[in-house]
Amino acid sequence: MKFALWGLNHQNAPVDLRERLAFDPSGVERFLDNWPGRFPDTEAVLVSTCNRTELYLGSPGDTLPDPGDIFDYIAAEKGDAALSGDLPQALVYAEGAEAAEHLFAVASSLESMVLGEPQILSQIKDSYLNAAEHQTTGVVTHSAFQRCLAAAKRVAVQTGLFRHRVSIPSVAVSDFALELFDSLADKTTLVLGAGEMAAETLRYLADGGVKKIVVANRTRSRAEELAGDFGAEVIDWEDRFAALDRADLVVAACAVTEPILSRADIQTRLAARRGRPLFLLDLAVPRNFDAAIAQLENVYVYCLDDLNAACERNRKSRSAELPKAKKIVHAEAVDFWRDLRLRESSDLISRLRTQWHETKESELTRLFNKCQDLSEQQRQEIQIAFGRFVNKALHAPIASLRDEIDTRPSTLLEAFVRLFRLK
């Protein structure tokens, strides 16, 4: 069996590259819809968030698609032919227990910009369920993602990483917005978007006592649903430009491929603002705000990559719990991979025994047909001798296989398949 990943994230790729590889919800749907036609024998789960794009692969066999074919497929799905040549240097590859340990660490928020934020686990769950609905999962990915949920639960219960709720919006607002404004209680916040990140922003603002919150979303009904939970005002998406006149803080978290606010959009509203500072917080990848906006006077723009220093401070404050969490994740990954290999070896051992016993029966039939004068007792003795021979002949290789799986991942399973020509 094979389990592997190709991916990049905020730790190893700049935001412009993450933007090129990010999949919006409809893009994920197309990616999964088309996958079985291109790779019918390979399981796939695509995780695409604001900070990472990772493709997890599984196979009940001993091979995975050629990396070049994977890169070509991703480039074609993104409509970016140049990606095919850029991905070999950009994407990180891992397989086996290493790939499992990475997945478990991601689900446990050990790889998040904000250590201990809970959103990533729900994103991992949603990614797996989406893949399952598109029938791109199987025994390997099912086992991996079920085990990663168990690992994340152990980290949450057995460590203090999640003791105090934190999130990217909470770090962004507390470490950046409050450097510009003494308080947000009397300020107006405009939230653009109505997804999970926008909901987390509203939750943090409401808990912090912010009273004036305005929500705009391309689908107004979704904005109304979200705003109703927090007593926020709702405006039409087209009115977001006029709302800039009264906004002090604008938070954007929309899944779009093009900026929703340009420099010109902001510049035309500056006169009405009469010099009041405007804080723009971009929590999306691809970015929601045109980078050129930052050139305007009294306008302050921050994106996810600007949060690294603040997130590092958060990580250090929780670092005492990190070794314990990593130990849990490592143990879960090792156990997962061992269980998966044992499962595979048990299947191979069963097929090997069946193959040899079928050969034994065939040879006994041939022998008894030639030796018609054998007594029933002699036939039984010969049958017992053949059976003991098969069991003794298989004992050493089967014991070696089990011992090897117990101690470390190895290529012995593949060697068994080739040596005994097991399909």
Q: What is the sign, positive or negative, of the torsion defined by CA atoms of 13, 14, 20, 21? A: positive
CA distance readout (Å), 113 to 233, 284, 304, 313, 330: 30, 13, 9, 10, 20
What interhelical angle do 376-407 and 412-419 show, nearest 10?
150
Assigned token pair, 385: 């001798």
Q: What is the sign, positive or negative, of the torsion defined by CA atoms of 71, 76, 77, 80? A: positive
**Residue position matching structure tokens 């050139």:** 295
- Residue 400 makes CB contacts below 8 A (sequence gap 6+) with 412
**Are residues 243 and 214 in contact, defined by beta-carbon separation less than 8 angstroms?**
yes
Query: Bridge partners of 282?
Result: 252
Closest to 136 (Cα-Cα) out of 25, 36, 37, 38: 36
Catalytic one among 50, 148, 254, 303? 50
Cα 88 from Cα 81, distance rounded (Å): 13
Beta sheet of 2-9, edge-to-edge order: 43-48, 52-59, 2-9, 92-95
**Catalytic annotation present for 50:** yes
Measured CA angle at 200 (ends 195, 205), to 5 deg: 125
- Residue 383: CB atoms within 10 A of its CB come to 15
- Residue 72: CB atoms within 10 A of its CB come to 17
Cα 209 from Cα 212, distance rounded (Å): 9
Closest to 43 (Cα-Cα) out of 3, 70, 94: 3
**Would you please indicate which residues are annotated as catalytic (active-site) residues?**
50
